[in-house]
């Protein structure tokens, strides 16, 4: 079976080209993207949080799965990289772009929980984990990627992954599944 996605978001070619031109190489890969689209589609009128917009490839996948009543908040530390996503996806009224530190945003956010949280950056995954998990609604999904060693990840990444997986395994309020697929994923669903 070929697991290469056959339906790609329309904005993906332009996002990839501009990310490449900017030297940004840490975008979500297509299999992860197709899972994001499916998870977003499973939540009609869903509230979605993406930590780590990057150049917007994950954002495009999420938007491609969302229905018209869903909303997406996406947070990125680097405003120059996020500008690529804003330029290509900013006319979509379902998305709100936040430029700033994801950890600070997590600490300050006081709104309703989210049906899907995709943590694609350090905050919400390796730091501020408890706060990110607190923002997952009952029955909601928390997804992280980049758990398998690969080029471009910082030194000490593998040790951080080990600590993270051990911490998530101990939680009684989430059911986790590890996926040794794509860039290495973990999906956790908050128990009701």
Q: What is the pLDDT confidence band of residue 13, given thresholds at 50, 70 and 90?
A: very high
Q: What is the pLDDT of residues 15-53, one digit of tens each?
A: 999 999 988 877 788 899 999 999 999 999 999 999 999
pLDDT at site 113? 98
Q: What is the pLDDT of residues 59-76, one digit of tens each?
A: 999 999 999 999 999 999
Q: Is the pLDDT of residue 153 over 80?
A: no
pLDDT at site 95? 98
**Residue 128 region, left (φ>0) first, then alpha (ψ -120 to 50), else beta?**
left
């Amino acid at each position: 079976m070929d697991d290469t996605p056959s339906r790609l978001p329309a904005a993906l070619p332009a996002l990839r080209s501009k990310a490449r031109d900017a030297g940004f190489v840490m975008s979500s890969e297509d299999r992860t993207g197709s899972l994001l689209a499916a998870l977003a589609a499973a939540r009609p009128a869903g509230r979605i949080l993406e930590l780590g917009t990057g150049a917007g490839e994950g954002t495009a996948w999420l938007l491609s799965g969302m229905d018209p009543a869903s909303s997406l908040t996406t947070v990125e530390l680097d405003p120059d990289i996020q500008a690529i996503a804003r330029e290509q996806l900013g006319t979509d009224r379902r998305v709100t772009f936040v430029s700033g530190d994801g950890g600070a945003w997590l600490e300050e956010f006081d709104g309703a929980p989210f049906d899907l949280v995709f943590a694609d950056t350090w905050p919400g995954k390796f730091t501020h984990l408890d706060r990110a998990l607190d923002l997952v609604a009952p029955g909601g999904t928390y997804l992280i990627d980049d758990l398998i060693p690969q080029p471009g990840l910082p030194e000490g990444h593998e040790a951080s992954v080990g600590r993270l997986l051990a911490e998530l395994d101990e939680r009684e309020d989430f059911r986790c599944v590890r996926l040794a697929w794509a860039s290495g994923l973990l999906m956790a669903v908050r128990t009701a």
